[in-house]
Structure 1
Amino acid sequence: MSAPEHPALAQPAIVPGTAVLGLGVHRPDVIVDNDQICQWIDSSDEWIRKRTGIVTRHRARPEVSVVDMAEAAGREALADAGIEASQLGAVLVSTVTHPYQTPSAAAAVTDRLGASPAPAFDMSAACAGYCYGIAQADALVRSGLAEYVLVIGVEKLSDFIDNHERSMSFLLGDGAGAVVVGPTETPGISPSILGSNGQKWDAVSMNQSLLPLRDALEHARRSGDVAALLDAEATLWPTLRQDGQTVFRWAVWEMAKVAQEAIEAAGITAEDLTAFVPHQANIRIIDELAKQLKLPEHVLIGRDIVEAGNTSAASIPLALHRLRAEHPEISGGLALQIGFGAGLVYGAQVIRIP
């Protein structure tokens, strides 16, 4: 007997191009300046400004969640794009501070926005999470699996800060930034450059997992030792830390190469850029990257870190939003964006500014 013929499988039509169509943010209303930070660590406003560029950072109130901030930024991005939530084919949330392992923040945001039954999932790529989200949204739209995708970078880092820890607690802020990615005739998102260096896996990390806290709390509850219970809650809650020198050297020397690779993958030169929007890790890293890339004077550089601090996955859309608000004429221009952080992971691409 001859083998039966198998029918060809249907596939969605390939979309010629994608672009960022709308942009939205949420900035918490509590502003913490350097003098307040210096209540907890032995430092000064002058030292923090000189070493990091940070003057203030936004912190969310205790009752404000990652989902709350993501929803607010998402609504603004949808309005900016002129897209209804019901048109979304997927919702992606990049975060490392959603307090639940499961369910995802994205599922809750999708429901709140009225975008159900759109697929929804979280991405854990720390400070590169937003760029990873853009790459994923670009692929979903170009493949025809979704017409519009909402990408949100959101962090409530203040939930995982030990105010007395000196390696990074003074750097961190809270916030959310969101974009809508959709189809276009002319490509508005370049090929993404993504990667990782797991040899430096612990250069930026939580100081420990939640498992020791679970075990200590269980022991304290069983023994009825209230002092042990309070001590476990105070000392074992995971908080962020970093090896600052390792991260600085890696970011400055390796990420300049990645940024240049993204420019070349886009088929442009630095002269064609309107803006450079790197992860807002440290003002010295931002300035050194711009120097190594030999950016022309006309290229605007995102320095949202001065007022917002380091907001991890939210930092690039927050910085782009500020640049566009201050310079509306950049709409339609090209922006090089690059995120890098814990993992160590990185992502970069060139987008057309909505």
Structure 2
Amino acid sequence: MSAPALKQAPLREHTRILGLGAYRPDVIVTNDDVCQWIDSSDEWIRQRTGIVTRHRAPADISVIDMAEGAAREALAKAGIEATQLGAVIVSTVTHPFATPSAAASLADRLGATPAPAFDISAACAGYCYGIAQGDALVRSGAADYVLVVGAEKLSDVIDNTERTISFLLGDGAGAVVIGPSETAGIGPSVWGSDGSKWDAIGMTHSLLDVRELALAANKAGSLSAGEAEVTDAAIWPTLRQDGQTVFRWAVWEMAKVAQQALDAAGIAAEDLVAFIPHQANMRIIDEMVKKLKLPETVKVARDIADAGNTSAASIPLATHRLLQENPELSGGLALQIGFGAGLVFGAQVIVLP
């Protein structure tokens, strides 16, 4: 007996980014501020990373607050109501709750319920992962419009005295609305992972370790883990990295991925108007520009100087600033690439909104 034929959503050939939004916290932390906690200098940080300042959110501003600010601007620029969203995707590694997701809360705030909502944990590649999924959802007919947000409050997971990564990091959020298009606005995604370098970037310890450390710190062996009070801030998991491993991997391997994204889109470097890499380190950006042999006509996003490394938020924030400063780039082709803890990576060529 044959089953009845199932109906399927109509497929769409093309998508594009319709609107872009950003949220930058008001608190600005200088290199001199950072050097209160580590033995370094403004000159050393500038030379090694290109960072001059970074934005950090005050205690009363959450990941979801920042995501909402960026999302509302993106929706307004796209001319889309939240009720029209077919999915809400938030890329973050700093939402303080394992569950429920930041995306579900954001969808409720925006009035997008009952749109499906979920988080992506792909660190600094999270935004490009979100673009890949948003593009696929719209083209498959599963959604008319998809909101993709990269939002991070990295200041919650740093130890100010730690020298490998703490001085690099900032907070913020960026968001885009993806919708159908008559012409291609998002090229094929080149994405993947290399778990053999899983420990190159990560946390000092796990939440399971926190439970045990909390019990030991409080000498509360007779109490359950839920009853123990955490009195030692040092047991809170914070970020750290093997800087040399990450730098070599980013410079040598990610330029190859970026070139693969150009090839997949069927374009050459000279066809680009902009290059928007993850804002990890200015030296990494400079090396990638050389390896890709980008012509001087290509604008290179260097938001890291003022914003620091904001992980999943860095590419949309950098794109937002680039378009603010160079509105004539709108409608041109940009190559974007994210890479980070996992190690994970993702890249696409897009038409700038």
**Alignment correspondent of 2:220:** 222
Counterpart selection for 1:29 from 26, 30, 36: 26
**Alignment correspondent of 2:140:** 143
> What is the CA distance between 1:234 and its match in structure 2?
1.6
CA distance 1:8–1:338, change in 2 (3 Å): same
- Equivalent residues in 2 for 1:119-138 (5 A)? 119-138=116-135
**Alignment correspondent of 1:301:** 300
Structure 1, unpaired ranges of 5+:
none
CA distance 1:231–1:94, change in 2 (3 Å): closer
**Alignment correspondent of 2:50:** 53
1:18 touches 1:184 (CA, 8 Å); kept in 2? yes
Once structures 1 and 2 are overlaid, which stretch shifts more, 203-212 or 142-151? 203-212
Amino acid in structure 1 at the alignment position of 2:220: R
TM-score normalised over the length of structure 1: 0.96
1:317 is aligned to 2:326: no
> What is the CA distance between 1:224 and its match in structure 2?
9.4
1:246 partner SS: helix
1:213 touches 1:232 (CA, 8 Å); kept in 2? no
Q: Number of residues paired by the alignment? A: 348
2:232 partner SS: helix
- Equivalent residues in 2 for 1:82-121 (5 A)? 82-121=79-118
**Alignment correspondent of 1:349:** 348
1:213 touches 1:233 (CA, 8 Å); kept in 2? no
**Alignment correspondent of 2:152:** 155
CA distance in 2, matches of 1:23, 1:214: 40
CA distance in 1, matches of 2:43, 2:118: 41
> What is the CA distance between 1:218 and its match in structure 2?
3.8
- Equivalent residues in 2 for 1:169-248 (5 A)? 169-219=166-216, 220=218, 222=220, 233-248=232-247
1:154 touches 1:314 (CA, 8 Å); kept in 2? yes
> What is the CA distance between 1:223 and its match in structure 2?
5.7
2:348 partner SS: strand
1:191 touches 1:265 (CA, 8 Å); kept in 2? yes
CA distance in 2, matches of 1:224, 1:31: 44
> What is the CA distance between 1:232 and its match in structure 2?
5.2
4+ long deviations beyond 6 Å: none
CA distance in 2, matches of 1:221, 1:249: 43
1:222 partner SS: coil
1:290 partner SS: helix
Structure 2, unpaired ranges of 5+:
none
CA distance in 2, matches of 1:232, 1:52: 34
> What is the CA distance between 1:246 and its match in structure 2?
0.2
Amino acid in structure 2 at the alignment position of 1:188: G
1:41 is aligned to 2:46: no
> What is the CA distance between 1:102 and its match in structure 2?
0.2
2:214 touches 2:235 (CA, 8 Å); kept in 1? no
TM-score normalised over the length of structure 2: 0.97
1:11 is aligned to 2:12: no
Amino acid in structure 2 at the alignment position of 1:149: V
2:214 touches 2:230 (CA, 8 Å); kept in 1? no
**Alignment correspondent of 2:65:** 68
> What is the CA distance between 1:211 and its match in structure 2?
1.2
CA distance in 1, matches of 2:221, 2:348: 54
Cα RMSD after superposing both structures: 1.3
TM-superposition CA deviations, 1:270-328 (whole Å, max 9, x none): 11101000000000000100110000111000000000000000000000000000000
